Amino acid sequence: MSEYLHWYLVELRNRLDPKLPQRKVHEILSETEDHLKESARELAEEFGWNENDSMLAAIQSYGDPEKVALSHLAASDPKFWGVPPIWVIFGSALVAIWCWNFEWLSLRGFFDHFGETWENGFVATLGVFALVTFFRACRAGYRSYRKEVMQLGFVTAFGLVFLMSTWMISVPDQWQGISRFHINREEKNLWSNLTALNRIEDLCELGRNKFGQAADPGQIPFQFEITADLRGAYDHILSLNRGKSPTVSQMEQTVVNSYIVPGSVIFVTPSKPLWFFQQEDRFDVARKRWAASGPSTQKAIQGARDEINLYLAAIAQARSGRIFFFDSRVYGKPVVLTLLFLPALLLLEAVAYNRSRRRSPLPVRVIA
């Protein structure tokens, strides 16, 4: 047997042995040997070369053992986790993309998307596991999946436009939207906030009167005082922002260190209570802010009502059958981040494909 033929068959066997049944390996080696011998014989008859030279030419024409082995392995219907590797590649890539976009695809809602520490840790771990699975599945296929991965990336980015536009009910000129998964909860909260606005309006009228008439801090009603207890102070402000006036029994009877004052804007969030009232440490400054609050407070309250009505109108459109609410603020970031993540997947696929190839230099001999 030619030394080149022996080398070729050994290299081919080394690439096939661990991955295919012995019967299949012997079949491939036998077919390869017969083909190379026949090609070498024809070349020797045509050009008058000796055995080694004609065999080397036949091998160079047939292809290096790495390429031939990969073609046989790819045609052998390889499996990964019991299914064709391409399905695991697609699944793990989609999971990795979701983890990469977690801040925007966490089901929390438009601009209300940051997870808790444990959630971010879980997603990071899941993302690493998905990438490792993606890498191993790419290796298991014994061929390049570059084209399929690229197609998946672009199709996913395009699909996110429609997914996000269906999932999130966006509202023009508003910095938040409403998730269809939480539409009942958000609608209930918005109606509650609309009711709270009326009570906030009454509290503002009471505050202006009391601070305008008070000559000293002792004449200020307890509803507009904040005690030294920080937790109690937060609960107090939160209660007022919900349009509720706490009772004396709910308050810590400790030293008063600041006063409730109106803000200039009412922050409307579909999933949370309104936020309007603030605190001021000095009594004289608090009086001035209350005295100047009339027009600005009415403007803030009317602005909040308009915002809430916009959200409610969008919910009504969704309930009446509107499917898509296209808004680049909603789908823009996930699409861009997915396209930025695609090169990383392609690089990982290329490394996996190269790792599946056991390189060995093909002998080179100049044939005169």
Res. 12: pLDDT tops 80 = no
- Rounded-to-5 percentages of helix, strand, coil across the chain: 65, 5, 30
DSSP string, 250-284: GS--S-EEEEEE--SS-B--TTS--B--EEES-HH
Task: State residue 49's pLDDT score.
Answer: 79
Residue 11 pLDDT grade (very low, low, confident, very high; cuts 50, 70, 90) = confident
Cα 237 to the center of its chain, rounded Å? 35
199-225 pLDDT, tens digit each: 888 888 888 888 888 888 878 877 777
Asked if 256 and 239 touch (Cβ cutoff 8 Å), the reply is no
140-197 pLDDT, tens digit each: 877 788 999 999 999 999 999 999 899 888 887 776 778 888 889 889 989 988 888 8
Which two tokens mark 304? 């909040």
DSSP string, 236-253: HHHHHHTT----GGGS--
Summarize the confidence of residues 253-272 as an average pLDDT.
Answer: 73
Q: Which amino acid is at 282?
A: R
Res. 111: pLDDT tops 50 = no
Task: State residue 94's pLDDT score.
Answer: 95
294-351 pLDDT, tens digit each: 788 888 888 888 988 999 999 999 999 999 999 888 888 899 999 999 999 999 999 9
